[in-house]
Chain A
């Protein structure tokens, strides 16, 4: 039973990280119908920025809470800046191109960013400092849930709540929903569509960077290629829940996280990634619109 609960929490932690990345995928897909292949790279760049900033700050001897806050801010800021730039350079010129054109451009961007970090930093795995302090009252339960896991769960929950509020009640959120429904119509009623699209990229990238920071301090090491697998898995989660739908992305992420945790715990850990990919293939074949997505008919 204890093992079960341990796996449950590990699955929830995984799920929250996937959710932070999947939200960016699903938001971008919802608005411009593009699979932002380079989104996993935002997560990787977030983790790298966090590593660099936190190392510099700790060498200059700042206290741990200050380091944590500044690092999170820096990671989110720079990942958002990268998201903005990628959108501006690689996607905006292709806004009206055939479907596959921006996708190939996105794949190119993803390869470019990976190798940019590889060349600018290193190809080795770098140890990531434990930024999240131990929570004393959690000590007795350390075998089941660590303080990092708890932090991940709380941060992810807060981020998702804020995002939902933003989209439901703010002006920007309203404009986002309008753009997602019908870009031309939104333009007609005075929504600045270009601005909404880059705001979407900025928010999505910042969330991914926070996810990158959290998971890096959980696992303890990072590398230039972590974004690829994480990106594919988050995409799986987004598709599982129904791409384009925000609650769907969260649900899909938890389903994927739990599936992975239990499958690796009870079956075999060698095939961890195979489970995720097989799940992706199966959903796309049997229920391409996902758990919460609407089946869309194509108009001729």
Chain B
């Protein structure tokens, strides 16, 4: 299977990457002290790793081609996705769901407040991921400024508390509504743009919101942010820090369940089917009498609503907001969750959010490599598995004669 040519190519790839990474990975200068450190070890690592990666990708592609060939010749049935197979069988699915639910419910009883806090963050990303999933996954609009709506939600709660002393429960719907309003305000002019332009405009919009929050100090208190935001209350009962975090945790669980319910219902509704149609072919979709702008706007506004509500939760959880929490990287992380999970797939997005947020928290040594891996994940997924780890099942309808 391994020809001489493959070996030569692998060696060449190794050499090429050794050359490519030479200045940045090997040399480290200290411009102020005028000293140079040579890190030759890195060079050999890169050479070896890229060599192996090349061979691995060769094998993978060869395997894929061979399989396609067998399917074409009718020697093998096209295998359905393992996960679909697995997830569609109640015998497998229900126990899994039950254990998962029990684990989540009992979580605060067995783990420390610190762990509960991490879990709240992960659940927040589940909500964000599901919200962005409506926009990117279902409706196929690449939104790179999703974090702007998240920032809107967080600042809504912070400012409402600061100026009017309003609580979490008032802020939550207002955060969602204002998120939706901003979504419509932005969406209205830009949604007629083609997909890739839309991506850049939303990116620009996200940055504008962050820069305004950073510079308009009279409004948002600038880079120093707003502190002392209260956690959600429970009918005015005083709670210890621990109890209020546990309470927030259960609220977050409720929020996730609510999101899953709504997103699931939406996907199979009339508007959900219109989104999918628009994603697949917008011209054909218009020809079927679907109002393109309105459909896109609803997707945008609904996605933004979840971001706004998640933002209120974020402000309540950290009790402090500042513009530095709402950079483009945050949008990229959420996008990565959607892409890794599988565009349009609810189970996939939940799995990906938990994986991408919890894994770096527990593997502290690798935490520095987090963003590096996220970037690589986006590229690798697009090339090898654009449908994500758990792809969606299209609902099919059969006609009974």
Interface residues of A (CB under 8 A from B): 34-35, 45, 48-49, 51-53, 55-56, 58-59, 74, 78, 81-82, 85, 89-90, 93-94, 97, 99-105, 107-121, 126-129, 228, 232, 235-236, 239, 270-271, 273-274, 277-278, 280-281, 284-285, 288, 298, 300
Contacts and interface: CB of A to CB of B under 8 A. Distances in A.
A115 B366 CA distance: 13
Interface stretch (B94-102, B199-207, B245-253, B344-352): B199-207
Contacts of B126: none
A46 to B, nearest CB: 11
A81 B19 contact: yes
Given A116-B372, A280-B204, A52 B382 contact: no
Contacts of B196: 34-35, 99-100, 103
Given A116-B372, A121-B24, A232-B203, A104 B197 contact: no
A285 B375 contact: no
7 contacts: A34-B196, A51-B29, A100-B199, A101-B386, A103-B196, A129-B31, A228-B328
B160 interface: no
Interface in B173-211: 189-190, 193-197, 199-201, 203-205, 207-208, 211
A132 B194 CA distance: 43
Contacts of A232: 200, 203-204, 207
Contacts of A82: 20
Given A56-B29, A94-B383, A100-B196, A271 B201 contact: no
Contact of A53 (B16, B23, B189): B23
Contacts of B29: 51-52, 55-56, 59
Contacts of B369: 115, 119
Contacts of A270: 215
B374 to A, nearest CB: 6
Interface residues of B, number: 59
A168 to B, nearest CB: 28
Nearest to B205: A281
A120 B25 contact: yes
A103 B27 contact: no
Nearest to A111: B375
Given A59-B36, A99-B195, A278-B208, A108 B376 contact: yes
B375 A108 contact: yes
B396 interface: no
B28 interface: yes
Contacts of B31: 51, 55, 126-129
A291 to B, nearest CB: 16
A105 B382 contact: yes
A288 B197 contact: yes
A263 to B, nearest CB: 13
A113 B339 CA distance: 19
Contacts of B16: 85
Interface in B342-395: 368-369, 371-372, 374-379, 382-383, 386
Contacts of B201: 280-281, 284
Contacts of A49: 23-24
Contacts of B200: 35, 232, 235, 239, 280, 284
B24 A116 contact: yes
B27 A89 contact: no
Contacts of A284: 190, 193, 197, 200-201
Given A111-B372, A300-B283, 14 more contacts: A53-B23, A56-B29, A59-B35, A103-B199, A104-B339, A107-B335, A108-B379, A111-B374, A116-B372, A119-B369, A120-B25, A120-B28, A285-B193, A288-B193
B372 A52 contact: no
Contacts of A85: 16-17, 20
A51 to B, nearest CB: 7
A292 to B, nearest CB: 17
Contact of B375 (A45, A115, A126, A228): A115
Contacts of A93: 383
B207 A273 contact: yes
A232 B58 CA distance: 35
A111 B332 contact: yes
A51 B207 CA distance: 29
B104 interface: no
